[in-house]
């Protein structure tokens, strides 16, 4: 009986050791896969980096939790970048494209394929879900760039421009240099190459060219909110600043709106009734 018990105990110990070994092998395989995945993200998916971060800007890749970005951090394909109410994120990509994301905005780095001198065409697609951004094309062919909004696609033609979109797709574009072609999802495209005017598109894809920021479009949205880099370029790194003359002209076109924002509210003082001293 004692001999049989020792044999059974020895067999059980052997099974336990084999199970433990299997667990270690699985853990090692998972670690190797994780390291390989990390190396892939650092090499193949790294498409650029943050050149300046103000207050809070977060980045989310796939199903991973949102991470707070800092100046110098890498950004990746399919990453969603979000700024808080005061946040500004500035980025430069591998083809020298430059991008500034305004406060309270969300963009998605949908696709980034840059083939410098290669046989395959480059393709760079950025989604502007809501908010404001400035975009400066890089070294890729001009036809490679595409900006997607909720209701339109902006084709870029060697350009510097600011764009703002509301979640419902109402948007405006202000050119600093070059041209863009705005194509609503349902409707005809519109070329915009006029520096010093605002191209407005309604949620239904109806275009109009505006001489002033006068409240007749994007109602309830201030010039400072929609075009933050026109109202203040000091927050931008030098490479993202537009012509001072052009920016000053845009500010003049929005003088009434800016004046309203700067004008202090009227204080309503309570009415006092003096007592009647004599009847």
The answer to whether the pTM exceeds 0.75 is yes
What is the pLDDT confidence band of residue 270, given thresholds at 50, 70 and 90? low
- Distance between CA 131 and CA 221 in Å, rounded? 11
Distance CA 225, CA 134 (A): 13
Q: Give the pLDDT of residue 199.
A: 97
Structure confidence at residue 119 (pLDDT):
60
Tell me what the pLDDT averaged over the chain comes to: 82
pLDDT, residue 122, reads: 80
CB 78 within 8 A of CB 55: no
> 172: burial class by Cβ within 10 Å (0-12, 13-18, 19+)?
buried
Q: Which pLDDT tens digit goes with each residue over 211-236? A: 999 999 999 999 999 999 999 999 99
Alpha-carbon distance of 156 to 129, in angstroms, equals 18
In terms of DSSP bridges, do strands 145-148 and 123-136 run parallel, antiparallel, or are they unpaired? parallel
Could you tell me the residue ranges of all domains in the chain?
1-44, 45-262
Q: Which residues in 64-97 are b (16+ Cβ under 10 Å) and which e?
A: eeeeebeeeeebbbebbbbbeeebbbbbbbbbeb
**pLDDT digits 0-9 by tens, 23-64:** 443 344 444 333 433 433 444 478 999 999 999 999 999 888
Q: Residue 257: pLDDT above 50?
A: yes
- Does domain 45-262 fall under CATH 3.10.20.30? My reply is no
Residues 110, 75: Cα–Cα separation, whole Å: 12
């Amino acid at each position: 009986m004692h001999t049989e018990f020792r044999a059974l105990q020895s067999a059980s110990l052997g099974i336990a050791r084999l199970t433990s070994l299997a667990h270690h092998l699985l853990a090692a395989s998972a670690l190797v896969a994780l390291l390989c995945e990390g190396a892939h993200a650092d090499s193949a998916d790294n498409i650029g980096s943050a050149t300046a971060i103000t207050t809070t800007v977060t980045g989310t890749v796939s199903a991973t939790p949102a991470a707070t970005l800092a100046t110098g951090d890498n950004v990746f394909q399919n990453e969603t970048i979000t700024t808080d109410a005061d946040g500004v994120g500035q980025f430069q990509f591998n083809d020298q494209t430059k991008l500034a994301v305004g406060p309270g905005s969300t963009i998605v780095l949908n696709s980034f394929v840059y083939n410098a001198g290669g046989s395959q065409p480059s393709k760079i697609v950025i989604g502007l879900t809501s908010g404001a951004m400035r975009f400066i094309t890089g070294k890729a062919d001009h036809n490679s760039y595409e900006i997607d909004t909720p209701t339109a696609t902006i084709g870029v033609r060697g350009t510097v421009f600011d764009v703002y979109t509301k979640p419902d797709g109402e948007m405006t574009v202000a050119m600093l240099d070059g041209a863009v072609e705005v194509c609503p999802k349902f409707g005809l495209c519109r070329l915009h190459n006029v520096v010093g005017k605002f191209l407005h598109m309604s949620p239904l894809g109806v275009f109009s060219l505006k001489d002033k920021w006068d409240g007749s479009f994007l109602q309830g949205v201030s010039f400072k909110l929609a075009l933050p880099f026109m109202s203040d370029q000091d927050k931008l790194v030098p490479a993202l600043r537009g012509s001072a003359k052009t920016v000053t002209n845009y500010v003049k076109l929005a003088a009434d709106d800016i004046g309203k924002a700067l004008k202090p509210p009227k204080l309503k003082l309570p009415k006092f009734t003096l007592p009647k001293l004599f009847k």
